[in-house]
Amino acid sequence: MPDREGFKGYRAWFECFRGCSGRWALTEIIYRCPRCEGLLTVQHDMERLKKTPPREWKNLFDDRMHTTVWPYGSGVWGKRELVCPVVGDEQVVSMYEGNTNLFWARRLGEEIGLEDLWLKLCGNTHTGSFKDLGMTVLVSVVNQMIHDGVEVPAVACASTGDTSAALAAYAAYAGIPAVVLLPKGKISIPQLVQPLAHGAITLSLETDFDGCMEIVQEIAERDGIYLANSMNSLRIEGQKTVGMEILQQFDWKVPDWIIIPGGNLGNVSALGKGLLDFLELGIIDRLPRIACAQAEHANPLYRSYQSGFETFEPVRAQPTLASAIQIGNPVSIDKAVDTLRRFDGIVEQASEQELADAVAQADRTGLFTCPHTGVALAVLLKLVARGLIRPEHRTVVISTAHGLKFTDFKVRYHSEQLEGIRSTRGNAPIELPADYGKVRDELFRQIERRLGAN
Ligand SMILES: *Cc1c(COP(=O)(O)O)cnc(C)c1O
Ligand SMILES: [Zn+2]
């Protein structure tokens, strides 16, 4: 497959993440290095990109933010030259994802002693999770390939819920058949309903995520179905814009800490890659520290961190409320370890009780977080308590999905029905007869109680 002429002469290609020789076009169907079986990475022509001075890049990105000029209103395609220069305007499949808001967590910050605490609300997007960022790039490249005459019967992924929702939506928008493999009974109803609504071929398998991942890889390898999991590094190129956007939103000032939940570990790698691109182009001159947050029930990276990343052992992931990160054998382990080494990174974990309480605490201050964000928030609390994150540190927590995707978890928490969890901040509905006096008495009792708690 000949390399496509890139947008305005910008070029990018796949190469081996571990450094074996060889380059492949982004429109080629290849997921792993043929020599070492390791993951690929997208390499951009950095010399070409460096010809534009940092100031010009910043102005260009600022000008494009929220524009309606196709496709630049997308937070991802607004950084097209650095993300994916091989897709034509007409072939871009975008829903103007990205450019999600930074939420100043003022009251939550006050409660825990931080003045400068922010949440990047990646769930405020079309399918309700950050997976849109990666999927717009991947589906656009597939759309370009089909346009160029390559035969792609369908795109497919294994998923803990959000990847399949994003793939199904973007594929539906482009008119490309989608296949999603889900672990039966392990994803939320809102997550399941998304691929169903978008007409994806939805397969519910008697296994966990890791089991689904094995099968979808085999289908991709043997049957030519295009693989849309994050081992496909096109996804990483879209997701890497999350860190870039954070910098842009802070007028290019680098925060001290970024905390991000990790499962398959594509997103922490993507976060790092975007920031390193900006460093290399001179757009920023230092890096934040990164903390990757894992659920105690699915913590292979945390265990590896304990050994200084000397060893890595996949684990059998136990059920966790943070279902999207219930992953025992993360595909992007090598990339994640590399990222954490470069960002003076740390890994911390959260128990089920800790993540549930962190969600409840955050929600009481006006947030509405998903359990994975709860894992990151619980880790935040630990790092503050340990004095690693100090009161003046500007800290950003990556909120990965919208809380409305996980209402069942919230309902059960507040009605004290989560097995093994104490609902320390539960707030169940109060049932009363329709009687003015009783309503008034109860109302004032409740107001009193809340004032007393403050
Ligand atoms: C996919 C996902 C994650 C984990 O991202 P990885 O790249 O697999 O580490 C975290 N939170 C939510 C809501 C997700 O959908
Ligand atoms: Zn290799």
Residue 381, token pair as written in the block: 């609390």
Gap between the terminal Cα atoms of the chain: 65
262 lines ligand 1 (CB under 6 A): yes
Confidence class for position 122, pLDDT limits 50, 70, 90: very high
162 lines ligand 1 (CB under 6 A): yes
Give residue 149's region: left, alpha or beta (phi > 0; psi -120 to 50): left
Mean pLDDT of 322-351: 97
In a domain, 292, yes or no: yes
326 lines ligand 1 (CB under 6 A): no
Query: What is the three-state SS of 303-340?
Result: HHHHCCCCCCCCCCCCCCCCHHHCCCCCCCHHHHHHHH
In a domain, 293, yes or no: yes
Confidence class for position 3, pLDDT limits 50, 70, 90: low
Nearest CA to ligand 1 atom 15: 162
Helices 352-363 & 371-385 angle (0-180, nearest 10): 100
Confidence class for position 87, pLDDT limits 50, 70, 90: very high
Confidence class for position 169, pLDDT limits 50, 70, 90: very high
In a domain, 12, yes or no: no
Ligand 2 center–CA 106 separation, angstroms:
46
**432/441 Cα distance (integer angstroms):** 11
Strand order in the sheet with 178-183: 201-205, 178-183, 155-158, 226-227
What does the pLDDT read at residue 454? 58
What does the pLDDT read at residue 4? 60
143 lines ligand 1 (CB under 6 A): no
**152/163 Cα distance (integer angstroms):** 19
Q: Which of 131, 332, 141 is nearest to 231 (CA)?
A: 332
Helices 241-249 & 266-280 angle (0-180, nearest 10): 60
Q: Which ligand lies nearest to the CA atom of residue 24 in the structure?
A: 2
In a domain, 84, yes or no: no
CB-based contacts of 316-319 (< 8 A; 24+ apart in sequence): 317/208, 317/209, 317/210, 319/186
Residue appearing with tokens 């074996």? 20
Q: What is the pTM of this model?
A: 0.96
Bond preceding residue 391 cis, omega within 30 of 0 = no
What does the pLDDT read at residue 185? 87
Over residues 29-64, the pLDDT tens digits come to 999 999 999 999 999 999 999 999 999 999 999 999
What does the pLDDT read at residue 188? 83
Q: What is the CA radius of gyration of the chain?
A: 22
Residue 2 pLDDT exceeds 50? no
The CATH number given to whatever domain includes residue 354 is 3.40.50.1100
CB 220 within 8 A of CB 73: no
**135/423 Cα distance (integer angstroms):** 36
**Range of 269's domain?**
102-126+236-414
Average confidence score pLDDT of the chain? 96
What does the pLDDT read at residue 451? 87
Q: Which of 242, 289, 249, 230 is nearest to 122 (CA)?
A: 242
261 lines ligand 1 (CB under 6 A): yes
Q: Which ligand lies nearest to the CA atom of residue 235 in the structure?
A: 1
Mean pLDDT of 318-337: 95
Confidence class for position 1, pLDDT limits 50, 70, 90: very low
Question: Which residues, at least 6 apart from 438, have a Cβ–Cβ distance to it below 8 Å?
Answer: 432
Confidence class for position 5, pLDDT limits 50, 70, 90: low
In a domain, 387, yes or no: yes
Q: Which atom of ligand 1 is least distant from the CA of 405?
A: 13
Query: How many whole angstroms from its chain centre is CA 442?
Result: 42
265 lines ligand 1 (CB under 6 A): yes
371 lines ligand 1 (CB under 6 A): no
**318/335 Cα distance (integer angstroms):** 24
Q: Which ligand lies nearest to the CA atom of residue 128 in the structure?
A: 1
Ligand 1 center–CA 165 separation, angstroms:
13
**332/336 Cα distance (integer angstroms):** 6
Ligand 1 center–CA 315 separation, angstroms:
17
Does residue 251 sit in helix, strand or coil? coil
Structural domain tally of the chain? 1
Over residues 375-397, the pLDDT tens digits come to 999 999 999 999 999 999 999 99
Residue among 119, 126, 130, 240 to mutate when testing ligand 1 (max atoms within 8 A of CB)? 130
Ligand 1 center–CA 401 separation, angstroms:
8
Residue 187 pLDDT exceeds 90? no
Label residue 324 exposed, middle or buried (CB < 10 Å: 0-12, 13-18, 19+).
buried
What does the pLDDT read at residue 230? 86
> What percent of the chain shows pLDDT beyond 90?
93
Residue 432, token pair as written in the block: 């009363």
